[in-house]
Chains A and B, each alone.
Chain A
């Protein structure tokens, strides 16, 4: 079965650079979520999109922005990177109002800021 695809798997950036993470949801899933997991921490919700509109927002820094495109894939843009942005970034997808479609996470993107 198709899963949530995230790219890249690993990313190394320098401070003050920008990074773009991509997420391709499971087909027919209409909602995408982004989470950030710092070292030794639990995943923290950043932002979500439903049918290409932002549906919820967590503790996402102003330096970060995201969007969902017409093909339902999503991109998380991170600017002015700081050392503290080093983390695992997960994308998840689901189909709203159809819980039996599941809530599936991608394998994550490990971002290292040096």
Chain B
């Protein structure tokens, strides 16, 4: 069965600090997809990244970076020089099998960035 664990319930930082959100997953499939979504107070789910299980390259997009390590079943997300607008709940999610199936979400990490 697939499972996603986000052990950090809430993180508080001061603006300009770097912060890493942890995500550990469990799956029996060799083909799977990992996602990160941002959910601001307005409620929508904003897509940040999708990574397939065969692509272990780390990715950087502006202040965001992702570290995918199959050896530890982790897909961590780092925000560099955090800003107040980064305050939101961040969800890591897993989808098994080819062609996309349902997403299983972690319980989310609430990030509070104060000025």
A-to-B contact residues, CB < 8 Å: 31, 33, 35, 41-45, 48, 56, 58, 88, 90, 92, 94, 96-99, 102-105, 107-108, 110
* Contact flag A96-B99 (CB < 8 Å), given A42-B91, A43-B91, A102-B50: yes
Task: Say what secondary structure dominates the interface of chain A.
Answer: strand
B-to-A contact residues, CB < 8 Å: 33, 35, 37, 43-45, 47, 50, 52, 91, 95, 98-108
- CA distance in complex: A82, B35 (Å): 32
**Is A99 a contact partner of B52 (Cβ separation < 8 A)?**
yes
**Is B45 a contact partner of A103 (Cβ separation < 8 A)?**
no
Task: Say what secondary structure dominates the interface of chain B.
Answer: loop
- CA distance in complex: A99, B47 (Å): 14
Kindly identify which residue among A41, A48, A88, A104 contacts B102, using a CB–CB cutoff of 8 Å.
A48
- CA distance in complex: A97, B33 (Å): 13
- CA distance in complex: A107, B44 (Å): 5
A-chain residues with CB within 8 Å of residue B102 when the two chains form the complex: 33, 45, 48, 56, 58
- CA distance in complex: A98, B52 (Å): 12
A-chain residues with CB within 8 Å of residue B104 when the two chains form the complex: 45
Chain A residue at minimal CB-CB distance from B95:
A103
Q: In this complex, which of A43, A48, A90, A96 has the most chain B Cβ atoms within 10 angstroms of its Cβ?
A: A43
